[in-house]
Amino acid sequence: MEMKTIYVLKAELARDGEVAIGFNRAKQFLRNPVGFLGLRRTRQPAPQVTVTDFGLWAAVDGFPEGGVPWARILEVHITKVNVSSYIDVSIRTPDTPDRRRTLRMPHMLEVDPETLAKWIVMELMVRGNPI
């Protein structure tokens, strides 16, 4: 499977108003080898990250259920741990707007972490508060 580029992600968001990003094939295999190999039918894997015109949502503990609007996202950055790259998103919480909370997005997605982080920053600069 070919990795998505920023241009493909941008076009998909413009066309559909939403981009759903799932785990990459290695992570899918680790989570469900029987389904991955086609030995048993499985349901389509749920998206782990969704980017919409409204904002950003990720399937991780602590991420607001309805997602985070662009205006509440303060910063997006890459954190390197050994050879892995993780995307951290700092948000302003609605109950305490003067405080920030940092959430780590899921790892091993079908989009390269650096590409995804750059694209989210580009969208944030257009839709939210410029970084």
Over the stretch 32-90, which tens digit does the pLDDT of each residue have? 555 545 555 555 668 999 999 999 999 999 898 899 999 999 999 999 988 888 999 99
**pLDDT score at 124:** 94
Query: Is 1 inside a domain boundary?
Result: no
Domain-located, residue 13:
yes
Q: Does 18 fall in a domain? A: yes
The answer to whether the beta carbons of residues 111 and 9 sit under 8 Å apart is yes
What values do phi and psi take at 76, rounded to 5?
Answer: -130, 130
0.85 exceeded by pTM: no
Q: Where are the beta strands (DSSP E) in the chain?
A: 18-21, 49-52, 55-58, 68-69, 73-81, 84-92, 100-104
Domain encompassing residue 23: 6-127
CATH number at residue 118: 2.30.29
pLDDT tens profile 3-34: 789 999 999 999 999 999 988 866 555 555 55
Each residue of 49-79: b (16+ CB within 10 Å) or e?
bbbbeebbbbeeeebbeebbbbebbbebeee
pLDDT value at residue 69: 94
Q: Is residue 113 a part of any domain in this protein?
A: yes
Residue 93 tokens read as 């919480």
Q: How many independent structural domains does the chain possess?
A: 1
Distance CA 109, CA 112 (A): 7
| Strand, coil or helix: 65 | coil
- Cα distance between residue 13 and residue 70, in whole Å: 14
Instruction: Reply yes or no on whether the pLDDT at 129 is more than 70.
Output: no
